Amino acid sequence: MTKDKAKILIIDDDPDFTETVQAMLESADYQVITAADGQKGLDLVREEEPDLIVLDVMMDSMYEGFSVMSTLRGTPEFIDFRDTPIIMASAVKQEYGSRFSLPEGGEDLQGDVFMDKPVKPKELLETVARLLAGA
């Protein structure tokens, strides 16, 4: 019997990033589903129950990723998914020279790992494997 492929949800409004990351993950034998905005992403979390989420910070609004994160980690509706590992990805450092500074008490909004875009394939795959292993 083969082990089920881990299911990874990418929530990002940049089709180039989504396609690139999807190809990286599928080459490592993960099942990948995608959403182009936060609301569709939340809908897919409920429908598909992903094992891990790659979440863009800036989509329709500059903080949409943080809003999705807050919903996933802080609302009763998503309590079953509160422990789903989340990799936050953002080009903000590339575009502005530094990352977001989170408000005090906002540490839980940054996900389990923060990666700068463009993500490096080896680093992404190692991070995904580590998070899926519960490390």
Length of the chain: 135
What's the pTM value of the predicted model, to 2 decimals?
Answer: 0.87
Q: Rounded to 5 degrees, what are φ and ψ at 89?
A: -130, 140
Task: State pLDDT tens for residues 79-103.
Answer: 999 999 999 998 865 544 444 455 4
What is the residue whose two structure tokens read 């490390």?
135
Q: What confidence score (pLDDT) does residue 61 get?
A: 80
Of the ranges 38-42, 108-112, 131-135, the best mean pLDDT one:
38-42
**Token couple for 94:** 């590339």
Q: Which CATH number fits domain 7-132: 3.90.180.10, 3.90.1150.10, 3.40.50.2300, 3.40.50.300?
A: 3.40.50.2300
Instruction: Compute the C-alpha angle 100/53/120, nearest 5°.
Output: 65
* Contact call for residues 86 and 55 (beta carbons, < 8 A): yes
